[in-house]
């Protein structure tokens, strides 16, 4: 098996794991929100951690779901422009867009790791769940890391000879 085949299997596994996480997270969000609505409007009670948990899961779902959409090519980018090009130029344009995207993702990853490790984040504790705020903020570098792996995979698979853009 060549390197791109192995990378493809790894990224497919990562996508599958991410989709499983998304399924569980959406399930928890739905369950907690439903229980909270019932508790609040019928019994006048509320869990102090429920809204915070749903908010934190929403952040994770956004970044992990965004990475899955990125891998599947379902994020909007210069499609209108690129689709008008000939197949040769389309492949070149997609390669350039993917390379620029990779640079952007790497810079953003570096900045997000720096931010998550900053004292303003690491020293802060969430009021409802009493967890370090680094946990919800960690969704940013985790999601960006997945996008970077998927981006590299896209670049390598697009650069294979005979691969149509």
Domain-embedded: residue 165: no
Domain-embedded: residue 49: yes
Domain-embedded: residue 32: yes
Spatial CA neighbour of 155 closest among 103, 114, 80: 103
Domain-embedded: residue 163: no
Residue 90 pLDDT? 82
Domain count, the chain: 1
Domain range for residue 78?
Answer: 3-158
pLDDT over 50 (residue 165):
no
3-state secondary structure of 133: coil
Chain segment 54-69, per-residue pLDDT in tens:
999 999 999 999 999 9
Chain segment 87-114, per-residue pLDDT in tens:
888 888 888 888 899 999 999 999 999 9
Domain-embedded: residue 72: yes
Cβ contact 92:99 at 8 Å: no
Residue 82 pLDDT? 72
- Separation in Å, CA 117 to CA 38, 78, 124: 38, 34, 11
Mean pLDDT, the chain, whole residue set: 89
- Contacts of residues 130-135 at CB distance under 8 Å and 24 or more positions apart, as own/partner, are 135/56
Helix, strand, coil: what percent of the chain each, to 5? 75, 0, 25
Cβ contact 122:87 at 8 Å: no
Single pTM value for the model: 0.86
Token look-up 């209108």 returns: 80
Residue 33 pLDDT? 96
Distance from chain centroid for Cα 39:
32
């Amino acid at each position: 098996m060549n390197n791109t085949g192995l990378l493809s299997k790894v990224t497919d596994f990562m996508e599958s794991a991410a989709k499983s996480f998304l399924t569980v997270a959406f399930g928890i969000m739905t369950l907690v929100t439903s229980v909270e609505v019932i508790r609040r409007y019928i019994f006048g009670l509320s869990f102090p951690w429920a809204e915070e948990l749903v908010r934190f899961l929403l952040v994770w779902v956004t970044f992990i779901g965004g990475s899955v959409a990125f891998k599947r090519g379902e994020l909007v980018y210069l499609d209108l422009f690129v689709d008008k090009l000939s197949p040769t130029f389309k492949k070149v344009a997609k390669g350039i867009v993917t390379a620029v995207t990779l640079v952007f993702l790497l810079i953003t990853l570096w900045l997000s790791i720096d931010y998550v490790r900053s004292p303003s984040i690491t020293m802060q504790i969430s009021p409802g769940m009493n967890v370090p705020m680094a946990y919800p903020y960690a969704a940013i570098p985790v999601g960006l890391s997945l996008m970077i792996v998927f981006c590299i995979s896209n670049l390598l698979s697009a650069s294979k000879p005979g691969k149509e853009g």
